[in-house]
Structure 1
Amino acid sequence: MADSAPTVERYHAGRVIMLAVVAALGGFLFGFDTAVVNGAVVAVRAEFEMGAGLTGFVVSSALLGCIAGAYLAGRLADRQGRIRVMVLAAALFMISAIGSGLAVGPVDLIVWRLVGGVGVGAASVIAPAYIAEISPAAVRGRLGSLQQLAIVTGIFVALLSDALLANIAGGAAEELWLGLAAWRWMFLVEVIPALAYGILALQIPESPRFLVAKGELERARSVLGEVLVTGVKERIEEIRKTVTQEARTSFADLRKPSGGLLPIVWIGIALSVFQQFVGINVIFYYSSTLWQSVGFTEEDALTQTVITSVTNIVVTIVAISLIDKIGRRTLLLIGSAGMFVTLGVLAVVFGTANLVENADGVLEPILGDTQGVIALIAANGFVVFFGMSWGPAVWVLLGEMFNNRIRGTALGLAAAAQWLANFLISTTFPAMAEVGLSFAYGFYTVFALLSLFFVARFVPETKGRQLEDMA
């Protein structure tokens, strides 16, 4: 139990952390599912004899499912509850893992990736919403950041699993167990965390704000009583003032009377787009391919990718310790400045590298020893600045910046925009890389700079404010 000043909520720390951790397991699967293809992509491309365009679509196809999952999950959560959406997402992860691992060609692999994407999209909406709704204001930023910590941990586990399976088999394309290639097992192992997520989601209570919206006040009081030491009755009354019982939120509620989306909704969408347009997921979807293309071996490339993901975990923990102290806006401003510098260095390094013609007749940059070290430092520096700022802070803001009336629907729309932006960046990277890696990273550099100006001008600070106080 956390003892606080009289004006600050007193709460059962252990209970609220446990609830947040279970909800954040959706983030773990989100990270695992989106990153697991990293170690498999080269072997899949060779086995299914795919060109660059089809390979890019196989990698990014899950993101189309993410768009649909995020778009629908917010509204479904407002109708059926947060817990049911978590269980549905867990089932979709399991189906996708099995289907992808047993795929017979690019078409059905795309289908199974789409199914998993719907689960990822749903998890990306439901975890921050649930965590924000059960968390005391004083620690909401730290608990909300658990979503990002879970995501980057999922990425790390996926990449580590990829590297281990490839190492055991002697390569991602080599046979491992039961006559299946190692890349297939990379997908199949996701069944384990998906099953755990579904079982644990059934053990936690429904969001008190959803229960109030449905008129189930006694259940809501009971859930809040598990979290808060004092002030349960007052908080229920505050929630009632901002929630319309039995009302079904629609996208019409996101519009101003004069037409167009509410300004706060536009800010949420823009935050989502900027988070992706700095190119962070290029690092996690294509990093092993990228490092191999500039002269690293497959083993070294997978090792570098694992190191990058560990770095991401460490700096996310740093963000958790800072976000309720210095605020969301400050973290975003620091992150934007750092990303602008590190991405700019990558653009310069790749732009000045020697070009060598590969087996397909395409000119690729080959980094010298010094250039390789600088590129690795800059790439990991980029991950540091993103991981301590735009990674966790955007998810925290999306979970808390919308009022109770529109939270689920607005978060769903903003998350759908994020996945659309992710899809565009991931799909276009192979083509942009063929133009030149300096061009691709120059593009991301520009958006890092623009994100700095956007935050300074438009993003509100939500640190310490109750959800019921959001406009």
Structure 2
Amino acid sequence: MIDKPIQYNGGYVLGISLISALGGYLFGFDFAVISGALPFLRAEFLLDVWWEGFLTGSLALGCMLGCMVAGKMADLYGRKPGLVLAAAIFALSSIGMALSGNLSVFIIMRFAAGIGVGMASMLSPMYIAEVSPAEMRGRNVSINQLTIVFGILITNLINYMLADTGPDAWRWMFGLGAVPAVLFLIGVIWLPESPRWLMKAGQHEKANRVLAKIGNEHFVEMTQAAIQKTLVAAPKASYADVFQKTVRPALLVGITLAVFQQLCGINVVFNYTSTIFESVGADLDRQLFETVAIGVVNLVFTLVAMWQVDKLGRRPLMLIGSLGLAVTYLVLAFVLQNGASAGIVSLLVLAAIALYATSLAPVTWVLITEIFPNSIRGVGISIATVSLWGAYFVLVFTFPVLAKTLGAYGPFYLYAAICLLGFVFIKAKVTETKGQTLENLEESYIKH
């Protein structure tokens, strides 16, 4: 008897991936809102460069805590409860930031927002990876990055429109974050639990029902068999187990790529657009307009990445992006140092955004969700994502100080060097993952 070919319910998989990816929108919102709000917050709270960096980076500190909570929660209780909690925290903290009466309250609320963002930034791509067949996993996980950049673009547009409404415009900028958070919460309630977590928890019948919605009977049988094989004699889901010798190669790649995605420097462009363009004489209106242009380019080239990630592959995109950023940063630093016009700076900034959006931004998240074993995927992704947010805090906290000391151009020479090092690491340690099941990748990366 000849087995039926594997078939997928692509519309269903896409639908639940889109709902889960709304967590990325929250990520994009809080990531971008600070860029438009900073000119108002400087005046409201009389910020110096140290407090400006800490206020911006306080989101990352919350994200680190959120990732640690989400990692353990995901392995013990499933992926869905963490997504629900993330949405609720984000909605409440958005309102809290909008109503803040002093700097301390604002930072506490931004830290709380970071907890929600951190949970969503880890759980959304992990959930999508676990419900997506191998042939469409790269594209579907990249949807999470698409919603991040969509959130950045919409937030930048709203910031631009609110900029002329008075000194309290920043309150509306933050408060409006409650709207997508509530929509995300409603959507997550409808989602099924991850079939891979259900299998690990011994809930085989429920896992079978979810898998049957994703693909035909042959797909269900093959997927269940593959998952079960990886769970036999599997280690307990603890942080200590992630550091065992067999998992270290995957952990090294996951942490290094996560840290590199941040220390490559692009997020100072997102968060400190106003600082960079103020250094070349641009007024507030031009500064906020540049945030919109950045959002548009980010969105367009994220679509390019989604088109190519399952065709060209993960590794080539990462190599092109890291080397391209290194060259672009060197030119950007040179023209900033020599007083170039805002137009030239804008072209180079947008070129850097295009390279990042096509490579490091989406592909890092795809790889992080792919390389860890089923049994400890939640904890493994948690550690990598905590490392990512720790690097983000270092980046955004240090930029105002470095820019004041070295000039706005100085840090970009450093970021260029980091990108070259990242290129060398990717070439030496990252293997291609496109088109392989999570279970096959588990065998290849654990033994790599």
User: With structure 2 as the length reference, what TM-score do the two structures score?
Assistant: 0.95
Identity among equivalent pairs (%)? 40
Task: State the partner residue of 2:10.
Answer: 13
Contact 1:68 1:121 in 2 (8 A): yes
Contact 2:319 2:427 in 1 (8 A): yes
Task: State the partner residue of 1:296.
Answer: 282
Query: Residue type matched to 1:137 in 2?
Result: A
Question: Match for 1:454 among 425, 432, 435?
Answer: 425
TM-superposed CA distance for 1:9, in Å, is 3.7
Do residues 328 (structure 1) and 314 (structure 2) align?
yes
Do residues 71 (structure 1) and 68 (structure 2) align?
yes
Unmatched tracts of structure 1, length 5 or more: 1-5, 174-180, 354-366
How far apart, CA to CA, are the structure 2 residues paired with 1:322 and 1:102?
43
Do residues 391 (structure 1) and 377 (structure 2) align?
no
How far apart, CA to CA, are the structure 2 residues paired with 1:223 and 1:412?
25
Deviations 1:32-58, CA, capped at 9 Å, x for gaps: 012111111111111112212112111
Do residues 198 (structure 1) and 182 (structure 2) align?
no
Look up the SS of the partner of 1:231 in the other structure: helix
Contact 2:138 2:366 in 1 (8 A): yes
Task: State the partner residue of 2:222.
Answer: 234
Task: State the partner residue of 1:106.
Answer: 103
TM-superposed CA distance for 1:245, in Å, is 9.1
Do residues 445 (structure 1) and 383 (structure 2) align?
no
Contact 2:131 2:194 in 1 (8 A): yes
- Does the C-alpha gap of structure 1 residues 115 and 401 become closer, same or farther in structure 2, counting only changes over 3 Å? same
Task: State the partner residue of 1:177.
Answer: none
How far apart, CA to CA, are the structure 1 residues paired with 2:243 and 2:263?
26
Root-mean-square deviation over aligned CA pairs: 1.6
Look up the SS of the partner of 1:14 in the other structure: helix
Task: State the partner residue of 1:31.
Answer: 28
Look up the SS of the partner of 1:202 in the other structure: helix
Query: Residue type matched to 2:397 in 1?
Result: T
Question: Match for 2:58 among 57, 61, 82?
Answer: 61
TM-superposed CA distance for 1:257, in Å, is 4.7
How far apart, CA to CA, are the structure 2 residues paired with 1:7 and 1:283?
51
Contact 1:64 1:117 in 2 (8 A): yes
Query: Residue type matched to 1:18 in 2?
Result: G
Look up the SS of the partner of 1:437 in the other structure: coil
Deviates more, 1:246-255 or 1:312-321: 246-255
Task: State the partner residue of 1:262.
Answer: 248
How far apart, CA to CA, are the structure 2 residues paired with 1:200 and 1:462?
30
TM-superposed CA distance for 1:234, in Å, is 2.2
How far apart, CA to CA, are the structure 1 residues paired with 2:430 and 2:189?
36
How far apart, CA to CA, are the structure 2 residues paired with 1:417 and 1:350?
30
TM-superposed CA distance for 1:8, in Å, is 7.2
Task: State the partner residue of 2:205.
Answer: 218
Q: How many residues align?
A: 438
Deviations 1:9-47, CA, capped at 9 Å, x for gaps: 420110000011011000110110121111111111111
TM-superposed CA distance for 1:197, in Å, is 0.5
Query: Residue type matched to 2:129 in 1?
Result: A
How far apart, CA to CA, are the structure 2 residues paired with 1:92 and 1:248?
29
* Mapping of residues 81-230 of structure 1, within 5 Å: 81-167=78-164, 169=165, 171=166, 173=167, 181-229=168-216, 230=218
Deviations 1:318-340, CA, capped at 9 Å, x for gaps: 00000001110000011112111
Task: State the partner residue of 1:419.
Answer: 389
Deviations 1:407-429, CA, capped at 9 Å, x for gaps: 11010000000000000000000
- Does the C-alpha gap of structure 1 residues 246 and 463 become closer, same or farther in structure 2, counting only changes over 3 Å? closer
Look up the SS of the partner of 1:36 in the other structure: helix
How far apart, CA to CA, are the structure 2 residues paired with 1:246 and 1:140?
24
How far apart, CA to CA, are the structure 2 residues paired with 1:114 and 1:279?
22
How far apart, CA to CA, are the structure 2 residues paired with 1:343 and 1:334?
14
Deviations 1:112-163, CA, capped at 9 Å, x for gaps: 0000001111111101110010001001000011111111111111111111
How far apart, CA to CA, are the structure 1 residues paired with 2:282 and 2:374?
50
How far apart, CA to CA, are the structure 1 residues paired with 2:70 and 2:142?
20
Greater than 4 Å deviation, 4+ residue runs: 244-248
Contact 2:235 2:376 in 1 (8 A): no
Contact 1:79 1:248 in 2 (8 A): no
TM-superposed CA distance for 1:164, in Å, is 1.0
Task: State the partner residue of 1:359.
Answer: none
Deviates more, 1:430-439 or 1:319-328: 430-439
How far apart, CA to CA, are the structure 2 residues paired with 1:373 and 1:404?
48
How far apart, CA to CA, are the structure 1 residues paired with 2:82 and 2:235?
19
Look up the SS of the partner of 1:336 in the other structure: helix
How far apart, CA to CA, are the structure 1 residues paired with 2:4 and 2:48?
61
TM-superposed CA distance for 1:193, in Å, is 0.2
TM-superposed CA distance for 1:293, in Å, is 3.3
Do residues 343 (structure 1) and 340 (structure 2) align?
no
TM-superposed CA distance for 1:246, in Å, is 10
Query: Residue type matched to 2:62 in 1?
Result: G
Query: Residue type matched to 2:250 in 1?
Result: I
Contact 1:42 1:289 in 2 (8 A): no
How far apart, CA to CA, are the structure 2 residues paired with 1:147 and 1:386?
15
User: With structure 1 as the length reference, what TM-score do the two structures score?
Assistant: 0.90
TM-superposed CA distance for 1:310, in Å, is 0.7
Task: State the partner residue of 2:370.
Answer: 400
Query: Residue type matched to 1:286 in 2?
Result: Y
How far apart, CA to CA, are the structure 2 residues paired with 1:327 and 1:468?
18
* Mapping of residues 373-388 of structure 1, within 5 Å: 373-388=343-358
Look up the SS of the partner of 1:405 in the other structure: helix
- Does the C-alpha gap of structure 1 residues 433 and 225 become closer, same or farther in structure 2, counting only changes over 3 Å? same
Contact 2:280 2:336 in 1 (8 A): no
Query: Residue type matched to 1:337 in 2?
Result: L
Task: State the partner residue of 1:3.
Answer: none
- Does the C-alpha gap of structure 1 residues 134 and 340 become closer, same or farther in structure 2, counting only changes over 3 Å? same
Contact 1:212 1:245 in 2 (8 A): no
Unmatched tracts of structure 2, length 5 or more: 444-448
